[in-house]
Amino acid sequence: MFDSLKDKLGSFRSDVEETTEEKAADAEAEAESEAPASAESEPKEAEPDDDSTDASSSNSFAKKAKSFAKGEIVIEEQDLEDPLWELEMALLESDVELSVANEILERIREDLSGATRSFSDETADVVEQALADSLLSVISVGQFDFDSRVREADKPVTIIFTGVNGVGKTTTIAKLSQYFEEQGLSTVLANGDTYRAGANEQIREHADNLDTKLIAHEQGGDPAAVIYDAVEYAESHDIDVVLGDTAGRLHTDEGLMDQLEKIGRVVGPDMVLFVDEAVAGQDAVQRAKQFNDAAEIDGAVLTKADADSQGGAAISIAHVTGKPILFLGTGQGYDDIERFDPEELVERLLGTDDE
């Protein structure tokens, strides 16, 4: 998962380390060559202004030599320019949204430019920490404790799922039904996708496999009425969680967006989750932003994360929408879903989860 981006982040770490270590070696050689001459010569009067460039260069060398004598390396902004440019290209190639890439780069530049590092520190470790802090700052936007919120809320908790066609909304609902059942929370499914032929059959198969109650109406019915009936059923049967499917839509589908607004008005769901494919990359990021702008979402679920080598959507969606990614779909089985943990993702991207 996200192997391509992981490799590119590793390359940035290596580039900065190589640049910094080369500078340290140059500083050592220069200090050794200049030291005897400095010891033999007497102090001289300041040279005229036309030698100011030489004086400036000498001062710069003196500063570096002093740092070296103290066992330190100064990471200067020019040391970072080439590696940061390479990292920018790598992030964009990995479908990281432009504003997110810029945020990551700026934070790294601020953390590392002018920083003084002891020789006893590994430069790679210093860069790794800057990368980790920067990535975590954009990935963890809006995070909340999903499990606690559901567990502590008044029952039934109603969760509505939305997104475009074919991204795995219905399968995600089935996976979360099992996820909740394993936590001791009962569920009922509601098929608010009343326009797609075969939608009832698809979700009913999942309900039968999971031995879970399904509320559905005939094709062409009112989606809000279906989910309302599911809430009524949950209240009368002490069911903890209602999971409501909706028709796939684009943010520009006014009729379908009106349906979503009506569901919100009639049912008052506790959460609306946006579902898309991790492999959709920039398209998923832009759709998440557009859905959030059109009908506010509370979080996102990314399917097919196991097939995504880039990771751009996982890095970008929270920062762009201000709403967290809550789950990753990692396969076809009902168990193939995992809570999204920003710190674990950063460790995975930087390879520290293997250490």
Q: Is the pTM of this model over 0.85?
A: no
pLDDT of residue 127: 79
Rounded Cα distance between 163 and 226, Å, is 18
Beta-bridge partner residues of 300: 274, 325
Rounded Cα distance between 33 and 39, Å, is 11
Which residues does the chain have with pLDDT short of 70?
A: 20-77, 79, 114-124, 251-252, 353-355
pLDDT of residue 155: 95
Closest CA to 268 of 234, 215, 231: 231
How would you list the strands of the sheet with 325-329, edge to edge?
A: 213-215, 187-192, 241-246, 157-162, 271-277, 299-303, 325-329, 337-339
pLDDT of residue 68: 46
Contact in structure between 324 and 343 (CB atoms under 8 Å): no
Torsion angle defined by CA atoms of residues 240, 199, 296 and 287, in that order, rounded to the nearest 10 degrees: 140
Q: Which fold has domain 146-341?
A: Rossmann fold (3.40.50)
Domain 3-39+53-139 has CATH 3.30.56.10: no
CA 336 to chain centre: 19
Q: Please report, as a single letter, which amino acid is at residue 107.
A: R
pLDDT of residue 311: 86
pLDDT of residue 36: 53
Two tokens, residue 150: 């559901």
Contact in structure between 124 and 17 (CB atoms under 8 Å): yes
For 109-132, letters b (16+ CB in 10 Å) and e give bebbeeeebeeeeebbebbbebbb
pLDDT of residue 168: 92
Closest CA to 164 of 260, 242, 263: 260
Two tokens, residue 215: 């509320």
Closest CA to 122 of 133, 114, 130: 130
Question: Which residue ranges make up each domain of the chain?
Answer: 3-39+53-139, 146-341
Rounded Cα distance between 67 and 59, Å, is 12
* pLDDT tens per residue, range 220-261: 788 999 999 999 999 999 999 999 999 877 766 777 778 888
Contact in structure between 275 and 169 (CB atoms under 8 Å): yes
Within 13 A of 162's CA, how many CA atoms are on the CB side?
A: 29
pLDDT of residue 193: 86
Beta-bridge partner residues of 192: 246
Within 13 A of 39's CA, how many CA atoms are on the CB side?
A: 6
Contact in structure between 226 and 191 (CB atoms under 8 Å): yes
* pLDDT tens per residue, range 182-216: 999 999 999 988 888 788 899 999 999 999 999 99
